Structure 1
Amino acid sequence: MTAPALSGASAYLAGIADRIAALTATQGAAIGAAAEACVETIRRDGLIYIFGTGHSHLMAEEGHFRAGGLACVVPILASSVMLHEGAVVSGVLERMTGLADPLLSRYPIGPGDTLFVYSNSGVNAVPVEAARYGKARGARVVAVTSIAYSKAAAAGRETLAEIADIAIDNQGPPGDASVTAAEGLIVGPISTVLGAAIWNAVLTETVARLAQSGEVAPAYISSNMPGSKDRNAALVERYRTRNPHL
């Protein structure tokens, strides 16, 4: 029996490839600016924070304690605006004003640090207020968002991209879903794939720029690779007192 053609999967993966190409073509300057902010933070022995609500919180975990990742990255993790303790409630809370300050106040964000805020729509109250919180404390704020989605959803509200010092457009469509699978049914969300690609592009550019200056980035290597034990242990020791999630 002949296997059916992968029409849905093929359309989804082709859309991802097209948007990755669009990132390369249009977001090079923003990615470079974000990488330079990270370079400056590392040189000052500062920290790189990542925050998001809902599914965007996955980007905070993507940057944390990862093989090939930076040890100076601190995820901002608040279970109330994640998904595992109640997705419906989380969706309500991320739209409420006044929550960002108490959520972020556990982290000593300040001058010399960089704060990445992920929000695909770019309009929910908590990520927008998180960006304001970071700027008020002197950190460089990088937004990773969909400009098209923000324009469609803003309804006169100030967006995350407008507040941030640097905005990277993930090239995603309004609503996130990308493939029309049936009449009136659009599926295939893409913001997580694009968000991870953007983060790792920024990280790789950061390390490359440091290497060009003869500097060694505080990067983890896989615990399954030779030499990892001592290197990673030294990095954990260096950052443990400043990262509550180590």
Structure 2
Amino acid sequence: MPGIFLQAWHELHFISSSNSIWHIIPFSVLWTVWLRRNEVVFGNKVVDVIQIFFLARTRLACWFKEVYPASDISREELIANPYLAEKLKLFRNYSKAKTAWEPSPVGYLKLNVDSSISRGSSLGGVSGILMDNGGSCLGSLSERIGNGPPTLSELLALKTGLKWYFEDANSFESRLIIESDSEAAVDWVLHPEKSPLLYASLVKDIEKTINDNHVMIRRSPRGFNVEVDSLVKRGIG
């Protein structure tokens, strides 16, 4: 059956060598269905068609970004509309011009936060690392969260990081810079009117904490968050 599906897929008229994302779609669908099948058979889970659809789209976007990391489209945009990938000029360029961590200005501390979803997508986690402008680690956090869309997880990482800093780790007099590699999450906090209604309350809570405490929020390139990403994966692994 999978062989017939793959053969039929590649015979479709819109599949061409230039439409790279369409070649990934059947594999993301089959792998997602296979993983869910195992959860149903061996884990007494139920079939959730909406969740399968979402997980297949998420896996497609993640795989595409791994193959084409130099593409200037975010993972969240690809999940919402995979067709956007057709308009890109794609190069398998794995070199990154700048991936090293950048120190914060004097008088500031920097908190880098990130989120991750486990391979089976039944667990998620958020983590953060607090550093001074000399690169010394002053503290870290790692918490598990439930399943959900990637952007929701990134928003929860921001909220959890801010809560941890101001309630549990606030023995510092320096001002705070918080960074996330999620373009959508940072943009929504800076411009709450752009956020979807579903996330409006969460975004406003984050915005209020940032404004009340004079926090700077910035987006960091994916490579900047390697250490935080490793921490969050260990936390949910």
Q: Which structure: larger Rg? A: 2
Regarding TM over 0.5, the answer is no
Structure with higher RCO (Cα < 8 A, 6+ apart): 1
User: Structure 2 length normalisation: TM-score?
Assistant: 0.32
